[in-house]
Amino acid sequence: MGMTHPWLAQRMTRFDASGIRKVFELGAKLKDPVNLSIGQPDFDVPEELKQSAVEAIRQGKNGYSLTQGVTAFQERLQAEIAKKYNHPDREVFVTSGTSGGLMLAVLTLVNPGDEVIVFDPYFVMYDALVHVAGGVPVYVDTYPDFQIDVNRVEAALTARTKMIIVNSPANPTGAVLSAQSLCELAELAERRNVALLSDEIYCDFCYDEPFVSPAKYNPQTIVVAGFSKSHGMPGWRLGFAHGPREIIQQMLKLQQYSFVCAPHPLQWAGLRAVDYDMQPVYQAYKRKRDLVVECLRGYYEMVMPSGAFYAFPRVPWGTATEFVTQAIERFGLLIIPGGVFSRQDTHFRISYAAPDETIQRGMGILREMARR
């Protein structure tokens, strides 16, 4: 960690700067990298939605919005959620990105010393946020198929377990959890009185079966989601969170004293985004998924990714860190070693949120590396 400044809070020593940043730093030295490392869409915000944002800015909608979001937007989201879930108690508000929603949920619910179940491999923010709250991440292994074994979860529960964080479709694996295991997990959380936090940022990228939320089976589930991935607007910081009214009200209170509100003019574009058809993009991404699977078949051991825009193959030799370092330094291919997302360094993450030509080049390099 190097020298620590005497003013720094203890919590800052509990987690590391993102390993993804290290890959970007290595990659920055490259002339023409084949970049399959970025977890953001390669499509831009649709023109009509950009127009809505520009209009809102021009019309002077540049002050604060209500903490819970622009009324029309929040009500539109509430109507959408009421249609999906028959939970009279379920409330929604607009967050500053899905990450903002995650942070609010964790800080609102987790006390110092509380345990939080995190499925390994995991999105890097989960255990970091648990540490920020003073909680203790408890890792439940999902190798080799990245599905959840509920018996394993039950065995990991203790009197100190406060929360389970679940993410389907998942980053970094692209796994979509079966409806049955989501149902069992939701029922377990309810039975054992543990908060269930569902990160649904990739819910629109579900290629092989319809998306299922654990909130369908457990009305106490807290859901965070947003528009960053679905509409190509990660820089706009538009997310939302919904769950039991009492918890949402407390998350709102914390938002008031932290993020204040999501970017006001962009929420007007968010209102249009709810009803904007992005299906052609999801179809294109399904085709990119198929391209990756086809190209790597017979070369890599890989669980079929059914959602999001990631694949998580096993390295054919060495550790993931060694393999990825060689991919970057010898071939100019940017991918991310599994050790960034996991306590084991055996796999690597490919993001196929990239032009087809970049994917093709990347797959060619990976095939060559597998032959070593």
157 in helix, strand or coil?
A: coil
CA distance 246 to 224: 16
Other beta carbons within 10 angstroms of residue 370's beta carbon come to 16
Measuring CA to CA, which residue among 216, 146, 210, 223 is closest to residue 184? 216
Angle, CA 103 vertex, CA 185 and CA 13 arms, to 5°? 105
Structure tokens that stand for 30 in this block: 């490259």
pLDDT digits (tens, 9 = 90+) for 60-93: 999 999 999 999 999 999 999 999 998 999 999 9
Given a contact cutoff of 8 angstroms between Cβ atoms, the answer to whether 40 and 229 are in contact is yes
Given a contact cutoff of 8 angstroms between Cβ atoms, the answer to whether 349 and 362 are in contact is no
pLDDT at 238: 98
CA distance 185 to 34: 39
Q: What is the mean pLDDT of residues 352-372?
A: 96
Q: Which residue has the tokens 């051991």?
A: 301
Burial of residue 307 (CB within 10 Å: 0-12, 13-18, 19+) is buried
pTM of the model: 0.96
pLDDT at 13: 86
- Cα dist. 3→6, 17, 66, 128 in Å? 9, 15, 42, 20
pLDDT digits (tens, 9 = 90+) for 92-116: 999 999 999 999 999 999 999 999 9
Report whether pLDDT(24) > 80.
Answer: no
- Rounded (to 5) percent helix, strand, coil in the chain: 40, 15, 40
**Dihedral angle sign, alpha carbons of residues 123, 168, 224, 237:** positive
Select 10-45+278-370's CATH number: 1.10.150.530, 3.40.190.10, 3.90.480.20, 3.90.1150.10: 3.90.1150.10
Q: What percent of the chain has pLDDT over 90?
A: 91
User: What strands, in cross-sheet order, belong to the sheet with 136-141?
Assistant: 90-96, 238-244, 222-226, 195-199, 161-167, 115-120, 136-141
Q: What percent of the chain has pLDDT over 70?
A: 99
Q: What is the mean pLDDT of residues 187-196?
A: 98
pLDDT at 168: 98
pLDDT at 2: 54
pLDDT digits (tens, 9 = 90+) for 275-322: 999 999 999 999 999 999 999 999 999 999 999 999 999 999 999 999
Report whether pLDDT(23) > 90.
Answer: no
Given a contact cutoff of 8 angstroms between Cβ atoms, the answer to whether 172 and 123 are in contact is yes
Structure tokens that stand for 312 in this block: 């998580």
Binned at pLDDT 50, 70 and 90, residue 17 comes out as: confident
Pick 40 or 29 by higher pLDDT.
Answer: 40
CA distance 361 to 346: 23
Report whether pLDDT(170) > 60.
Answer: yes
pLDDT at 360: 97
pLDDT at 3: 61
Return the domain boundaries, the chain.
Answer: 10-45+278-370, 59-273
Report whether pLDDT(26) > 80.
Answer: no
**How many angstroms from the chain centroid is the CA of residue 211?**
15
Structure tokens that stand for 369 in this block: 């590396």
Given a contact cutoff of 8 angstroms between Cβ atoms, the answer to whether 224 and 198 are in contact is yes
pLDDT at 79: 97
> What CATH number should be reported for the domain whose range is 59-273?
3.40.640.10
- Mean pLDDT of the chain, nearest integer: 96
pLDDT digits (tens, 9 = 90+) for 239-270: 999 999 999 999 999 999 999 999 999 999 99
pLDDT at 18: 66
Other beta carbons within 10 angstroms of residue 318's beta carbon come to 14
- Cα dist. 233→71, 76, 237, 274 in Å? 21, 19, 8, 13
Residue type, 265: P
CA distance 363 to 299: 10
DSSP 44-70: PPPHHHHHHHHHHHHTT--S---TT--
pLDDT digits (tens, 9 = 90+) for 133-164: 999 999 999 999 999 999 999 999 999 999 99
pLDDT at 21: 74
CA distance 137 to 131: 7
